[in-house]
C-alpha cells in the first residue's frame, strides 16, 4: 500500500542542470563529495515551464557576453530586459524587438527602471567593474533573494563582488590565465608523450 502511495505522490524534484551534446551540465554549484553517485531523472520541461520558474531577468551590457546570455533566454522563452549604455545599441536592438533600457547599471534609478524588484536574476556582463560592484550592492539591498551573476576583469574585484552579494562571479583575468595554462600544458604533455587526459587542474 505504501509503495502505491509513494509511486503516486513522488517527492518534489529540484532541477539542478540540463543535458546537452552528450553531457549533463549542472546549473549551480553543489557541495557534493567527490565520488558521489547521482541519480538522474529526465524532466520534459517546456519553454512555458522555464518562463514561469524564472520570471523576469535583467541583463546588464549587450556586448558578446550579453548577447550569448540573451540567446539562452530567447531559446527558452524567458522574459528579459537589457540595460545598455550605448545609445546606438539600444536603438538598434530596440528596433529588433528587444526590451532595451539606456542607462548606467550601477545607478539605483536605472535598476528600478529595469524592475529590479520584480526580477529573479541579474546578469552583470558589462565591462565597467565599478558599475558592476555598485549594481551588486544595490541589487542585493533591494532584492535579498535575487540571483546575481557578475563579470569582473580582475580577481580582486571578483572577490569584492562576492563580498557584496554576487552568487557567481566570472573573473576575466582568471579565465584568461586558465586558458593559457591549459593550452600550454597540453603542448608540454604532448611533447613529453604524456596522455591528454592528465589532470589540467589549475591550483
**Tell me, what's the pLDDT at 191?**
86
User: Does residue 102 lie within any of the structural domains?
Assistant: yes
CA angle 102, 104, 110 (to 5 degrees): 75
The C-alpha cell at 4 is: 502505491
> Parallel, antiparallel, or unpaired for β 17-20 and 100-102?
unpaired
**Tell me, what's the pLDDT at 113?**
97
For residues 9 and 12, what is the distance between their CA atoms, to the nearest angstrom? 9
CA 144, distance to chain mean position in Å, is: 17
User: Does residue 166 lie within any of the structural domains?
Assistant: yes
User: Does residue 189 lie within any of the structural domains?
Assistant: no
**Tell me, what's the pLDDT at 7?**
42
Sheet bearing 56-60, strands edge to edge: 100-102, 79-84, 56-60, 119-124, 147-152, 168-171
Q: Fill in the DSSP letter of residue 118.
A: G
The CATH code of the domain that includes 83 is 3.40.50.720
Q: Return the axis-axis angle of helices 129-142 and 155-164, rounded to nearest 10°.
A: 10
**Residues 158 and 169 sit within 8 Å (Cβ to Cβ):** yes
- How are the residues of the chain apportioned to helix, strand and coil, as percentages rounded to the nearest 5? 45, 20, 35
**Tell me, what's the pLDDT at 6?**
43
User: Does residue 22 lie within any of the structural domains?
Assistant: no
User: Does residue 123 lie within any of the structural domains?
Assistant: yes
User: Does residue 13 lie within any of the structural domains?
Assistant: no
User: Does residue 69 lie within any of the structural domains?
Assistant: yes
Q: How far is CA 48 from CA 4, 51, 53, 59, in A?
A: 30, 5, 9, 20
User: Does residue 200 lie within any of the structural domains?
Assistant: no
**Tell me, what's the pLDDT at 150?**
97
**Tell me, what's the pLDDT at 2?**
44
- Number of Cβ within 10 Å of residue 41's Cβ equals 7
**Tell me, what's the pLDDT at 55?**
74
> Parallel, antiparallel, or unpaired for β 23-26 and 17-20?
antiparallel
Number of domains forming the structure of the chain: 1
Domain hosting 138: range is 47-175
Ordered mean pLDDT values, 10 residues apiece, the chain (203 residues): 43 52 62 73 56 80 96 90 97 96 97 95 96 97 95 95 96 92 89 65 53
**Tell me, what's the pLDDT at 4?**
44
Amino acid at each position: 500500500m505504501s509503495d502505491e502511495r509513494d509511486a503516486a505522490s513522488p517527492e518534489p524534484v529540484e532541477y539542478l542542470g540540463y543535458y546537452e551534446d552528450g553531457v549533463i551540465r549542472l546549473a549551480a554549484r553543489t557541495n557534493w563529495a567527490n565520488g558521489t553517485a547521482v541519480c538522474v531523472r529526465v524532466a520534459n520541461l517546456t519553454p512555458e515551464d522555464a518562463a514561469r520558474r524564472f520570471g523576469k531577468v535583467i541583463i546588464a551590457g549587450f556586448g558578446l557576453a550579453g548577447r550569448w546570455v540573451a540567446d539562452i533566454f530567447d531559446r527558452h522563452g524567458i522574459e528579459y530586459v537589457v540595460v545598455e549604455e550605448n545609445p546606438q545599441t539600444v536603438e538598434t536592438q530596440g528596433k529588433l524587438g528587444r526590451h532595451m533600457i539606456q542607462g548606467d547599471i550601477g545607478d539605483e534609478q536605472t535598476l528600478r527602471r529595469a524592475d529590479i524588484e520584480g526580477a529573479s536574476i541579474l546578469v552583470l556582463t558589462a565591462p565597467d567593474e565599478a558599475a558592476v560592484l555598485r549594481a551588486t550592492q544595490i541589487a542585493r539591498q533591494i532584492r535579498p533573494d535575487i540571483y546575481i551573476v557578475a563579470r569582473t576583469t580582475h580577481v580582486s574585484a571578483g572577490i569584492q563582488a562576492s563580498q557584496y552579494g554576487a552568487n557567481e562571479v566570472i573573473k576575466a583575468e582568471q579565465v584568461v590565465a586558465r586558458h593559457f595554462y591549459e593550452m600550454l600544458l597540453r603542448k608540454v604533455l604532448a611533447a613529453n608523450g604524456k596522455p591528454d587526459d592528465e589532470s589540467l587542474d589549475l591550483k
